[in-house]
Chain A
Amino acid sequence: MGNRLVRVLSQARKNKRKLFCAYVTLGYPSLRQTESLALTLQNAGTDILELGFPFSDPLADGPTIQYASEQSIKKGTHFEDSFRVMRRLRREGLHIPVLFFSYFNPIHHYGVDAFVRKSRYAGLDGAIIPDLPPDEARSLEERFHKAGLSLVYLVAPTTERTRMKHIAKRSNGFVYYVSLRGVTGARRAVPADLTERLRLLKRQTSKAILVGFGVSHPGQVRSIARNADGIVVGSAIIDRLRRGKGIRAVGSYVSRLVRALNPK
């Protein structure tokens, strides 16, 4: 099975390139702008896109993504819009892998089978579900696997070594390492135990490790990239949109991070 994500990961490994993964909230500031944002991010050097479906109760998210989700829901973003936007984006030339980011309830309510079918059709490559640990995901994982979709699991700072290994084994594509104890949102510093934790995780798996939560500055990016295969940036992008910066400004911000990630 080779979806876009798997291809991009193996290519990056061959070329020793670090990966940049960007998160956007579907429908924030609007569905139309989500589309142009996605294309801009691709042009700025984004390797993987996380398309976030807004949920009413995002308990792993900080104020920034909570705000974006709330606004998007208020504007009437529906679950079906995810597929519609995604199909249009593929037609408009979005070729990077896209992971659907959603809390479990909307997917569960839509129906896992229907979700898998539509995702493939729309050109999604997999999903990240922050409140679905592998223990509860057996049947969903099987159905994803059959359809060639990747289900990416998260490893946290509190995850014990044996469980790390187990999660990494079951994670499909890469392993998402949550850099800190807490919710999403831009922070200035890098957690003190990050290097040590990443080294520990690296010993448990040969899969790519991407680090997310709290990443927003080129300095952070450089220091994280030494021990990881890539980074995930979300709240910092939304923050810029919220502060009224245009999509083009977001694009140049992301280019800066990408350059920090892969200097030369």
Chain B
Amino acid sequence: MKKTGHRKDKWVFGPDTHGHFGIYGGRFVPETLIHALNELAEAYHAVRRNQSFKKELSHYLATYAGRPTPLYFARNLSQSLGRNLNVYLKREDLCHTGAHKINNTIGQGLLARYLGKNRIIAETGAGQHGVASATAARLLKLSCDVYMGTEDMKRQALNVYKMKLLGARVIPVTSGSKTLKDATNEAIRDWVTHVDSTHYLLGSAVGPHPYPAMVRDFQLVIGREARAQIRRCQRSKVDVLIACVGGGSNAIGFFYPFLKDRVKLIGVEAAGEGLHTKHHAASLRKGSLGVLHGMKSLVLQDRDGQIQLAHSISAGLDYPSVGPEHAFLKQTGRAQYETATDADALRGFHALTQLEGIIPALEPAHAVGYLIKSARRFKKGSTVMICLSGRGDKDLDVVRRAEHHLGRMI
């Protein structure tokens, strides 16, 4: 592990120059992509210190994406939990397009333009990253193709329509499990074929170097804002941060600026129908060391090293691996990773809707559900911050169907 960070918030824990976070990360891709990844890493390195790039990015984040997002004190939820807990919500759901994904897509969109590439491709599961990519593509006048599994297209028909309205081409993926994992494979195959003219706009802090570090850096605006905002609140000290983890981009962006503080970091994975079943997406808790989509990380796999299918009620957490930096934070003990089942998430969803009038996406509903489930284990009077990474409009159908299926939860 190499410490390259001399400036606050920057590369505190790595990665090293080859993109390794301890034993995780790296670059496990076909040779054809190595050149493009080098080029991307170099360009990214250059623009990070480029004043005009930074100015343009923060201009769009402020005037287009709606940043800074508010930090909201959830009084009713806090009271219902008891133990004098103070719960704050970082309102990423108020971002343009309804989730934190836009922070990354504008950043990488600008980078694509800087690289002289006029086409972007993206993978999407729930469609949030697809919509955010299509949006950034409109804004920056790029053409945009989005790969999406046919299974997901059925579940998220509204987002498919949104992407089409935004002028993106949605390419149905019928291989493998027809979900996010296979959409990612297809996006990589497209990139291998059109690598000279195309930028692959990866949506989470996963994949080969420099993606995990780059996506994190575009997302750490979440944590940086939250850190300044909580200081301005009357109770200046935050004790615990909670965020949901699929690939882990909202969580790493939220955690990262706090790594050096005395704050407990909790990532919540999707336990689906339960960790004792095969239907979950808890790669940090139940996965083993493996290589998928260009990175070494913790992976759900069978005894032959074949990648297993993940399951979660929320399409955004439905991924059989996790960003390498989370695996690293787990290994070093800096962050701890817990789980919430589909039922916990639904409980969180309803609690937040009914107590605060905020309809969360099912992804952050896992974080809320975890807090409700384990409030008793938190120290009395703790201040807890949750990253509310997206809003719930996209999930209403899923929730309605699940209610029907599981019976009333609350």
Contact = CB atoms under 8 A, between A and B. Distances in A.
Interface of A: 55-60, 62-63, 66, 70, 73, 78-79, 103-110, 130-133, 135-136, 153-160, 163, 167, 178, 181-183
Contacts of B189: 59-60, 62, 182-183
Contact of A104 (B185, B194, B291): B291
Contact of B35 (A62, A131, A159): A159
Contacts of B294: 131
A153 B30 CA distance: 10
Interface residues of B, number: 38
A160 B176 CA distance: 33
Contact of A59 (B26, B188, B194): B188
B84 interface: no
Contact of A55 (B18, B27, B288, B306): B306
Interface in B156-197: 175-176, 181-182, 185, 188-189, 192-196
Given A59-B185, A135-B18, A181-B32, A105 B301 contact: yes
Interface of B: 18, 26-36, 175-176, 181-182, 185, 188-189, 192-196, 288-294, 299, 301, 303-307
Contacts of A131: 28-30, 291, 294
A163 to B, nearest CB: 7
A181 B28 contact: no
A108 B30 contact: no
Contacts of B175: 63, 66, 70
B307 A106 contact: no
Contact of B304 (A58, A59, A78): A78
Contacts, number: 118
A108 B193 contact: no
A108 B305 contact: yes
B31 A167 contact: yes
A181 B289 CA distance: 30
A103 B35 CA distance: 20
Contacts of A60: 30, 189, 192
**Chain B CB within 10 A, most for which of A70, A103, A131, A154:** A131
B27 A136 contact: yes
20 contacts: A56-B176, A57-B293, A57-B307, A59-B30, A60-B189, A78-B303, A105-B290, A105-B291, A105-B307, A108-B290, A109-B303, A133-B27, A133-B31, A135-B27, A153-B31, A156-B31, A158-B196, A181-B196, A182-B193, A183-B192
A252 B175 CA distance: 31
Contacts of B305: 55, 79, 105-110
B392 to A, nearest CB: 31
Given A56-B306, A57-B185, A181-B196, A158 B299 contact: no
B32 A156 contact: yes
A70 to B, nearest CB: 7
Given A66-B175, A156-B34, A79 B304 contact: yes
Contact of A159 (B29, B31, B188, B292): B31
Given A104-B291, A105-B301, A155 B31 contact: yes
Contacts of B291: 103-105, 108, 131
A43 B282 CA distance: 49
B55 to A, nearest CB: 32
Given A104-B28, A183-B192, A158 B181 contact: no
Contacts of B307: 56-57, 105
